[in-house]
């Protein structure tokens, strides 16, 4: 088997973009991007079983040249459609906003069509939810979509198991799914595991070594979710489940309290910018989202915070609080095998695996190399 065929086959098996370039690369070297030495942690913000460490940087890159999904869908600069007769392609004259039917095949559970009509590249994060169409979907991986690009086949995962029928046009749900679901999409790339995580709430197990006594029951345990589906979300829509009266009653106060404490902890910074967070459940540091700028972090903060809270409600509760040393470890780069997917001149996506840790980094390549988002996950399975 020649090398080109081997790379193509491996790309297919890993679910990476056919247009990208996959590499099994360096171990222990440091790719271009922000280094851990440029960040520091503030004091932890803790409420019940959730601890959030603010991450600050002395410098904040200019990210105003990038468009978020929230902005694009709200203004109409970004359009998402099912494949098939409702798909779209740009007219031959290339004018924005004039679409014609495309993709003669039928709609697909795991692929939508996206067009970016703005003058800015579009940033997509794994786990962002778009609502409508035949089923609600979430973005499958971090990536950039160039300004004015041709209609793009977009890899997605369904988060509404019980519906496959025409619905309203896709809109931004202003939601990013909670870490257990996001992990299955970003790392496992498995539709069945995504559905399972939606129904069960969390894929994390109770870790008895973190507590001498039994952990407190999860406020959002699987039986509660099952009852919510029965009463409020018969199509198993993620949005309807996790924004239902039952969940919202538990989550809203939690979100408000963490946000209040976070705002107080990060106020009065001089010459530094909040660019991300390290997140722990009980004593286990489990997650980190860090961005290239304070502006980009704040654009995502509200929906990220709610996702962290939903995960906390679904996990067994522990009284312990994560240590600063463990949290600071999440600012270091894992040393291991690197998978790489590149769209030349647009973006580079990298995944580094070491033990239970998986680091995903998204670099913009134009006009200069810039790491827009860094996601570090301690895998639950």
pLDDT of res. 173: 81
Give, for 89, the enclosing helix (H) or strand (E): strand 89-90
Q: Residue 345 above 90 pLDDT? A: yes
Could you tell me which residues are beta bridge partners of residue 354?
357
pLDDT of res. 249: 86
User: Is 242 within 8 Å of 312 (Cβ atoms)?
Assistant: no
Strand order in the sheet with 137-139: 78-82, 111-116, 152-158, 137-139, 128-131, 171-176
Domain definitions of the chain by residue range: 10-378
Enter the pTM of the model. 0.85
Q: Residue 316 above 50 pLDDT? A: yes
User: Is 266 within 8 Å of 45 (Cβ atoms)?
Assistant: no
Q: Residue 181 above 80 pLDDT? A: yes
Top-confidence residue, 215 or 367: 367
**Which range among 51-55, 91-95, 344-348, 376-380 shows the weakest confidence by mean pLDDT?**
91-95
Q: Mean pLDDT over residues 120-129, rounded?
A: 97
Could you give the CA distance from residue 15 to residue 10 in angstroms, rounded to a whole number? 9
**Could you give the percent of the chain with pLDDT greater than 70?**
82
CA separation, residue 33 to residues 39, 343, 361 (Å): 13, 17, 9
Instruction: Show the CA angle centred on residue 154, arms to residues 108 and 189, nearest 5°.
Output: 80
Mean pLDDT of the chain: 85
pLDDT of res. 168: 75
**Could you give the percent of the chain with pLDDT greater than 90?**
70
User: Is 172 within 8 Å of 113 (Cβ atoms)?
Assistant: no
pLDDT of res. 4: 39
pLDDT of res. 212: 53
Position 2 confidence tier, pLDDT thresholds 50, 70, 90:
very low
pLDDT of res. 206: 67
Position 315 confidence tier, pLDDT thresholds 50, 70, 90:
very high
Nearest to 262 by CA among 17, 52, 38: 52
pLDDT of res. 207: 61
Cα pseudo-dihedral 154, 155, 157, 163, rounded to 10: 50
Nearest to 363 by CA among 50, 63, 52: 63
Position 93 confidence tier, pLDDT thresholds 50, 70, 90:
very low
Q: Residue 118 above 70 pLDDT? A: yes
pLDDT of res. 279: 98
Task: Report the SS3 class of residue 278.
Answer: strand
pLDDT of res. 215: 78
Helices 222-232, 191-200: crossing angle, 10 deg rounding: 90
User: Is 144 within 8 Å of 123 (Cβ atoms)?
Assistant: yes
Q: Residue 225 above 70 pLDDT? A: yes
Nearest to 276 by CA among 125, 56, 33: 56
**Antiparallel, parallel or unpaired: β 67-68 and 122-124:** parallel
Q: Could you report the per-residue pLDDT of 8-61, keeping only the tens digit for each?
A: 333 333 333 433 444 434 333 444 444 456 899 999 999 999 999 999 999 899
pLDDT of res. 38: 86
Give, for 327, the enclosing helix (H) or strand (E): helix 324-328
pLDDT of res. 149: 86
Q: Could you report the per-residue pLDDT of 131-153, keeping only the tens digit for each?
A: 999 999 999 999 999 998 899 99
User: Is 180 within 8 Å of 310 (Cβ atoms)?
Assistant: no
Burial 90-112 (b: 16+ CB within 10 A, else e): beeeeeeeebeebbeeebbeebb
CA separation, residue 32 to residues 78, 234, 332 (Å): 29, 46, 14
pLDDT of res. 88: 43
Q: Mean pLDDT over residues 177-181, rounded?
A: 97
Q: Mean pLDDT over residues 210-221, rounded?
A: 74
Q: Could you report the per-residue pLDDT of 269-314, keeping only the tens digit for each?
A: 999 999 999 999 999 999 999 999 999 999 999 999 999 999 999 9
pLDDT of res. 28: 39
Is 295 exposed, middle or buried, given 0-12, 13-18 or 19+ CB atoms closer than 10 A? middle
């Amino acid at each position: 088997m020649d090398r080109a065929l081997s790379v193509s086959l491996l790309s297919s098996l890993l679910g990476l973009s056919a247009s990208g370039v996959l590499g099994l690369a360096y171990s222990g070297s440091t790719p271009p991007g922000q280094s851990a030495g440029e960040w520091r942690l503030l004091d932890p913000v803790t409420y019940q079983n959730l601890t959030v460490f603010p991450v600050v940087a002395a410098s904040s890159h200019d990210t105003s040249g990038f468009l978020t999904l929230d902005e694009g869908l709200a203004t109409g600069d970004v359009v998402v459609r099912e494949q098939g007769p409702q798909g779209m392609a740009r007219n031959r004259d290339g004018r924005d906003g004039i679409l014609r039917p495309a993709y003669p095949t039928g709609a697909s559970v795991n692929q939508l069509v996206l067009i970016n009509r703005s003058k800015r590249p579009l940033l997509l994060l794994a786990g962002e939810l778009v609502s409508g169409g035949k089923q609600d979907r979430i973005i499958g991986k971090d990536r950039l979509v160039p300004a004015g690009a041709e209609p793009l086949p977009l890899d997605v995962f369904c988060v509404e198991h019980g519906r496959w029928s025409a619905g309203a046009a896709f809109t931004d749900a202003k939601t990013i799914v909670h870490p257990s679901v996001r992990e299955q999409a970003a790392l496992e790339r498995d539709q069945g595991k995504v559905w399972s995580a939606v129904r069960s709430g969390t894929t994390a197990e109770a870790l008895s070594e973190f507590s001498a006594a039994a952990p407190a029951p999860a406020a959002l345990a699987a039986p509660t979710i099952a009852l919510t589906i029965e009463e409020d979300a018969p199509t198993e829509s993620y949005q309807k489940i996790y924004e239902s009266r039952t969940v919202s009653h538990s989550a809203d106060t939690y979100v408000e309290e963490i946000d209040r404490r976070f705002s107080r902890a990060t106020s009065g910074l001089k010459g530094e910018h909040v660019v991300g967070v390290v997140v722990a459940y009980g004593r286990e540091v489990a997650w980190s989202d860090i961005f290239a700028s304070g502006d980009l972090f704040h654009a995502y903060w509200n929906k990220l915070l709610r996702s962290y809270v939903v995960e906390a409600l679904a996990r067994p509760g522990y009284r312990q609080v994560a240590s600063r040393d463990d949290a600071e470890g999440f600012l270091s780069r894992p040393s291991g095998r690197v998978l790489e997917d590149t769209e030349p001149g647009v973006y580079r996506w990298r995944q580094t695996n070491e033990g239970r840790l998986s680091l995903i980094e998204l670099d913009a390549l134009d006009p200069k190399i810039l790491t827009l988002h860094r996601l570090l996950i301690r895998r639950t399975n």
